[in-house]
Amino acid sequence: VRNDGNGLEYNGHTLTTLFAQKRNWLNPKFYRFILEILRFNKLAKASATEQISSSQTLGAFLDEHQFSDFFSDNYILPMGAAIWSSSLADMRAFPLMFFLRFFLNHGLLDVTNRPQWYVIKGGSRAYIPPLTQGFADKIRLNSPVEKVVRSEQGVAIYANGQCEWFDEVIFACHSDQALAMLSDASSCENDILSNMAYQANDVVLHTDTSVLPKRKSAWASWNYLLEGGEEELQRLPSLTYNMNILQHIDSSHTFCV
């Protein structure tokens, strides 16, 4: 995290990177910050297994248990915002039950022994051909679906002026796109899909390291930039993936996304 509003920089990977700013070794506020992280993790683990109202929010949980704004704005809200491409304000309004169980299931409520994530060498170019080898000739490209119709005989897909029948259809698309294709959507399906929002993101591959923390020891795989100011809570996240770290790229350039 890099916060230009208050000058804070840290990376929670190791003790050394956590104290990337040497002055924080003598900063009582930073130690309270660390204690709040540990308290939140312990409380969140216990709460994740309890019955939580679907209307309860993360923000209400933080207020109820008197977590400081410094903790919320520099740790838990940016972490959630990075995952769900949301503003800090949206994260305060995020459903608590889903948030806690997601963090618990992904090992995000531990500061040690977190799950090790792996990548496949060569990326998608390496695994897609073997994965699709058995049905590569059946993959249709540039075939926009016009509509999907269900009947007792199966599911009909209309595309490129033709109709084909299938036993089942999986919609791997956004909610509004699925609703537009479903010609016979039920009132329940219409209600769910029309209210299922998603966030569009602008993505740029570049080598401008000025968006990363100023101290290299604070660089992480995911880097969240807080610009400060009154608009911070409403601002969409400014997140930078350090691809050299994520993909183990050995280069004189730092590739950022």
Looking at the fold, whether 69 and 83 belong to one and the same domain comes out as yes
Residues 197-210, mean pLDDT to the nearest whole number: 93
- Asked if the structure places residue 133 within a domain, the reply is yes
Q: Are residues 12 and 102 in the same domain?
A: yes
Are residue 73 and residue 12 in the same domain, yes or no?
A: yes
* Residues of the domain holding 96: 2-116+199-246
The mean predicted confidence, pLDDT, of the chain is 94
Question: Mean of the pLDDT values across residues 51-74?
Answer: 97
What confidence score (pLDDT) does residue 111 get?
A: 86
What pLDDT, in 10s, does the model give residues 141-165? 999 999 999 999 999 999 999 999 9
Residues 111 and 143 in one domain: no
Residue at 256 is within a domain: no
Q: Is 121 a residue whose pLDDT tops 90? A: no
**Is there a single domain that holds both residue 68 and residue 7?**
yes
- 163 in the same domain as 176: yes
Is residue 257 in some structural domain?
Answer: no
Over the Cα atoms of the chain, what is R_g? 23
Categorize the per-residue pLDDT at 113 as very low, low, confident or very high, splitting at 50, 70 and 90: confident
What's the total number of domains in the chain? 2
Across residues 179-197, what is the average pLDDT? 95
Q: Residue 165: what pLDDT?
A: 96
Residues 90 and 212 in one domain: yes
Give the domain-ending residue among 156, 177, 194. 194
Question: Based on the domain organization, do 213 and 171 belong to the same domain?
Answer: no
DSSP state of 149: E
Same domain, 54 and 178: no
- 139 pLDDT above the threshold of 90: yes
Say yes or no to pLDDT of 118 above 90: no
Q: Rounded CA gap, 12 and 243, in Å?
A: 18
Q: Which residue has the tokens 């992480």?
A: 220
Note whether 112 and 224 are same-domain residues. yes
Identify the three-state secondary structure at position 254. Answer: coil
pTM for the predicted model, two decimal places: 0.85
Cα 100 from Cα 108, distance rounded (Å): 9
pLDDT tens-place string over residues 39-57: 999 999 999 999 999 999 9
Task: Find, among 35, 37, 27, the residue nearest to 6 by Cα.
Answer: 27
If asked whether residues 134 and 49 sit together in one domain, one would say: no
- pLDDT band at residue 14 using 50, 70 and 90 as cut-offs: very high
Q: What angle do CA 77, 83, 85 make, to 5 degrees?
A: 85
Contact between residue 237 and residue 87 where contact means Cβ atoms under 8 Å apart:
yes
Please check the confidence at residue 114 and state whether its pLDDT lies above 90: no
| 208 domain residue, yes or no | yes
| Per-residue model confidence (pLDDT) at position 116 | 82
> What is the model's pLDDT at position 115?
79
Q: Are residues 9 and 41 in the same domain?
A: yes
pLDDT-derived band at 212 (thresholds 50, 70, 90) equals very high
